[in-house]
Amino acid sequence: MVVFNSYLQVLQHCDSVTTDANHVSFRLCDGTQVGTILPGVMDALASYNQTVTPAPFVLTGNTVTFGNHLETMDQRTQAVSALMDQWRQDKTFPALAGWRDELYAVYGSDGRPAFVMERAATPLLGVATFGVHINAFTRDTDGKIKMWVARRAATKPTWPNCLDNCVAGGIPYTYSTKETVIKECDEEASIPHDIAARAYNAGVVTYYTSTEHGLQPEAQYVYDLELPIDYQPAPKDGEVGCFYLWDLDQVKEKMLQGEFKPNCALVAIDFMVRHGFITADNDPDYIDLSYHLHRTLPFPGPKKAQ
Amino acid sequence: MVVFNSYLQVLQHCDSVTTDANHVSFRLCDGTQVGTILPGVMDALASYNQTVTPAPFVLTGNTVTFGNHLETMDQRTQAVSALMDQWRQDKTFPALAGWRDELYAVYGSDGRPAFVMERAATPLLGVATFGVHINAFTRDTDGKIKMWVARRAATKPTWPNCLDNCVAGGIPYTYSTKETVIKECDEEASIPHDIAARAYNAGVVTYYTSTEHGLQPEAQYVYDLELPIDYQPAPKDGEVGCFYLWDLDQVKEKMLQGEFKPNCALVAIDFMVRHGFITADNDPDYIDLSYHLHRTLPFPGPKKAQ
């Protein structure tokens, strides 16, 4: 567990990737970079590519590009799927042990999906992923904010027992962000549709993190959900161990003690900034916090209005 | 007047500087870039520099640096002041006709002021400036937000008659952001201290704009101020012509018609994003909006907690 002295350190621990100039870029045929591949994965990709005819990928010194024959979204999806199925079968990478059967879209420069791929495999190609995080909170009669914080289940494959935002989830291909919010509120916290529907989109945080599985540029659509003061979320699908209702000083204390999953701490800091708990007058790093919360990612994202 | 088809176009009109690679960088002796100088100003600076002994600035092909003898903040302040006084006297640049007798700090990499300079002269050196913008708003009994929008006075030297945020102002050297908010609320909108004190810091927008006077990288600390439904701000110091109370659809309409001062439109868009009026599901450019609202500026800012 890492202990921090400031919110800036918490954010730097999450938004930690500063350069990928020496890594291999993963590109569409039109040259758009959609991901970044680290050396270990690159070696395995080169080996795999020799076993398939025609080769699905074109490899140069510092670029992997889809073969020109993979012209459609379905063809690209199929090529990546075959690769990951092989690696999963061969147990090439631990990342694939966490297979979720959940498809994420990877977007081209036109904002449309260029292909879709298994969620657990995204760090291997370093592609950008998109999710929702919901800050559930209440206000005292004097207006003071308390925040619902989740403790992740001890059985979660990633970040067991760490603190988390009340509700969060990846956006499945074909879901809108609000539909994802409503689905996850039910699954993770038993929050019924009529209450979950009050959640509103209050921004998007973007950051570039890395884990043992690879590089992870991420965009999380942030939703705020003010709950009635007597309402309690409850675990449902086993992903959450329990929920706490803490004032923001308590959230800060746990955060600096390193108890949060790093990107959930980032989302909580964004909430504290937007609601006047962290201010330009009380934090000397204020502008740098904003930069880390809104990192401009060098990869395309979705361009669609639902 | 420029008419826009989307919020993204509104933001791109303000956050419009995409590169300054061919311009001259203005640096402190330790190499920190604090500004960017355009060719017309560079010629005048070179001429001026020859008239003073020892020369206050060291000029190379693409860099202007303070002379090594200007070791203290006061010395650097004095050197820039003498330069601007000369240009003002000679009527070298129209920017200086708008002299305000208001000092802005220019920060070094340690977050402390490296020197201070006249506000009207900042675009000539392309240094970053810092201000506050206050979104004053009310909520209907059903929770629907209406926003107070100011019409700038016809006599304002910059952007006369344009729409503006309810209250805004630069941060004078020695003021905290909240002190600036309270001062400007009184001066521009007759909002008394006890009401202005309810304003809370809800983030910072950063963008890199340009005007006829030069390059202007700016950070605006954003404050939200919910006003009682029966309260009306009133012009006081002559900077505002009148105030309107509009629902967000009306604000959007005026914004797309190009009636807002560009950076005030940007601040209003940030408000609409934070309060769920613009969402990931209703605007295809959502992530790009966030990038333009939170541009990482390549210049240091203040690092102080009040």
Cα angle A13, A15, A18; round to 5:
105
Same domain, A133 and A229: yes
What is the model's pLDDT at position B173? 81
What is the model's pLDDT at position B306? 47
Same domain, A178 and A233: yes
What is the model's pLDDT at position B22? 73
What is the model's pLDDT at position A157? 82
Which member of A280, A284, A303 has the closest CB to residue B284? A303
- The answer as to whether A298 is a domain residue is no
Contacts of B187 (CB under 8 A, 6+ apart): B169, B236, B237, B239
Same domain, B11 and B149: yes
Same domain, B135 and B244: yes
Q: Which residues of A touch B178 (CB under 8 A)?
A: 279, 281
Q: Which residue of A has its CA nearest to B179?
A: A281
Residues of chain B with pLDDT under 50: 306
What is the model's pLDDT at position A306? 47
ipTM of the complex: 0.96
Helix-strand-coil split of chain A, %, nearest 5: 30, 30, 40
- The answer as to whether A302 is a domain residue is no
Distances (CA, A) of A128 to A105, A254, B200, B217, B243: 9, 28, 33, 29, 43
A–B CB contacts, 8 A cutoff, strictly below: 105
**Interchain contact A6–B (C-beta under 8 A):** no
- The answer as to whether A85 is a domain residue is yes
What is the model's pLDDT at position B275? 98
pLDDT-wise least confident of A87-91, A256-260, B74-78, B169-173: B169-173
Same domain, B40 and B116: yes
What is the model's pLDDT at position B61? 85
How many domains does chain A divide into? Answer: 2
pLDDT one-digit tens code per residue, A41-80: 999 999 999 999 999 999 998 999 999 999 999 999 999 9
- Domain of residue A167 covers 7-16+129-293
Q: Do B280 and A177 touch (CB under 8 A)?
A: yes
Same domain, A197 and A219: yes
- The answer as to whether B286 is a domain residue is yes
Same domain, A146 and A167: yes
Q: Do A203 and B274 touch (CB under 8 A)?
A: yes
Q: Pairing state of beta strands A129-139 and A63-66?
A: unpaired
Which member of A111, A284, A294 has the closest CB to residue B111? A284
- The answer as to whether B306 is a domain residue is no
> Exposed/middle/buried for A14, CB within 10 Å: 0-12, 13-18, 19+?
buried
Q: Which residues of A touch B282 (CB under 8 A)?
A: 305-306
Same domain, A151 and A275: yes
Same domain, A243 and A120: no
Tokens of B21: 């690679």
> Where residue B37 sits, what CATH number does that domain have?
3.30.750.160
Q: Do B178 and A283 touch (CB under 8 A)?
A: no
Query: Pick from A71, A96, A125: which residue ends a domain?
Result: A125
- The answer as to whether B193 is a domain residue is yes
| Residue with the two structure tokens 């101020």 | B225
Same domain, B230 and B255: yes
> Where residue A231 sits, what CATH number does that domain have?
3.90.79.10
Give the Cα separation of B9 and B239 in Å (integer).
Answer: 27
What average pLDDT does the segment A197-226 reach?
97
Distances (CA, A) of A227 to A275, B194, B272: 16, 29, 22
What is the model's pLDDT at position A182? 97
Same domain, A11 and A160: yes
Query: Pick from A97, A125, A153: which residue ends a domain?
Result: A125
What is the model's pLDDT at position A20? 59
Mean pLDDT across chain A, nearest whole number? 95
Alpha carbon of B47: minimum distance to chain A alpha carbons (Å): 36
Q: How many helices (H) and strands (E) does chain B have?
A: 9, 13
**Interchain contact B88–A (C-beta under 8 A):** no
What average pLDDT does the segment A244-265 reach?
98
Closest C-alpha among A290, A245, A246 to residue A269: A290
Give the Cα separation of B242 and B238 in Å (integer).
Answer: 10
Instruction: Give start and end residues of each alpha helix (H) in A15-119.
Output: 39-49, 73-90
Looking at the predicted structure, is the pLDDT value of residue A88 above 50? yes
What average pLDDT does the segment A200-211 reach?
97
Closest C-alpha among B65, B91, B92, B97 to residue B80: B65
Alpha carbon of B83: minimum distance to chain A alpha carbons (Å): 30
Same domain, A164 and A288: yes
Q: Do B206 and A303 touch (CB under 8 A)?
A: no
**Interchain contact B178–A (C-beta under 8 A):** yes
Query: Pick from A90, A125, A160: which residue ends a domain?
Result: A125
What is the model's pLDDT at position B171? 93
pLDDT one-digit tens code per residue, B122-166: 999 999 999 999 999 999 988 899 999 999 999 988 899 999 999
* % of chain A exceeding 90 in pLDDT: 92
- The answer as to whether A1 is a domain residue is no
pLDDT one-digit tens code per residue, A136-169: 999 998 889 999 999 999 998 889 999 999 999 9
What is the model's pLDDT at position A21? 65
Q: Which residue of A has its CA nearest to B291?
A: A296
- The answer as to whether A306 is a domain residue is no
- Best interface-test mutation with B: which of A5, A281, A282, A306 has the largest number of B CBs within 10 A? A281
